[in-house]
Amino acid sequence: MFIGDIVGEPGRKAVAHLVPVLRQRHGIDVVIANGENSAGGSGITPKTAEDIFAGDVDIMTTGDHLWDQKEVSALLANEPRFLRPLNYPAGTAGHGSGVFRLGGWPPVGVLNLQGRVFMPDLDNPFLLARAEVARLRESTQIIFVDMHAEATSEKIALARMLDGLVSAVVGTHTHVQTADEQIFPGGTAYLTDAGFTGPHESVLGREMHPVIQLFLTYTPQRFAVAKERILLQGAIIEIDNETGKALNIQRVSEPWTP
């Protein structure tokens, strides 16, 4: 199971309460989550990462809000289950991919990429993805890609390029779950955006009024995390352990009431 961007305390609590339930209900072996918005809705700290891992999450990915909390440097240095986008410049702290051996299951490769359309101008994720997937395939056929990007076209293009080479490509960042889950001809599962885990009576997880005021006045506002209608969103992907090809993908949008 992959969990879309976890937003603030409501998102962390939803993970803690729902992931064990969903693991049992669906027989889930591995849980990956994007945690870049888990600290007050922007960035991540060792404490919020600890909350997420304690919620039965195995591996965490991030994106463009990676650096919003200065404490993230400790995670990048000390937590091997914590990934940042691969396409930051050489020498950046942390890792953009990894092969994880969890219990008795086959090894799982996870690759975190960040898009460049309407985003910071990092290294080309398409060029880096080809080389990194080839490297990961030396250790495992099961590879999951979190493509953290703004543009739908960039996410789809990257997934089409990797069709047959990875098990799944799921997009994050826009916080709106899309309805285009599918398996490409080569056996790669795809979803343009996993959505987000947190309060949906909101604007992308934030209180509505300040966001509306920003658009009305263009004056600075404080975007507090909202509190109502909490959902855990993402996707469950069934993968053939031998071939690494996806057999099924289904969206998840599970409500949680405190």
Phi, psi of 104 (to 5 degrees): -95, 10
Residue in 17, 65, 200, 209 annotated catalytic: 65
209 is catalytic: no
The three-class DSSP label of residue 169 is strand
Q: At what angle do helices 46-54 and 8-26 cross, to 10 degrees?
A: 20
* Among candidate residues 95, 90, 58, the one with its CA nearest the CA of residue 75: 95
Pair of tokens at residue 160: 């089409």
The three-class DSSP label of residue 83 is coil
DSSP characters for 129-140?
A: HHHHHHHHTTT-
CB atoms within 10 A of CB 73: 13
Catalytic residues: 65
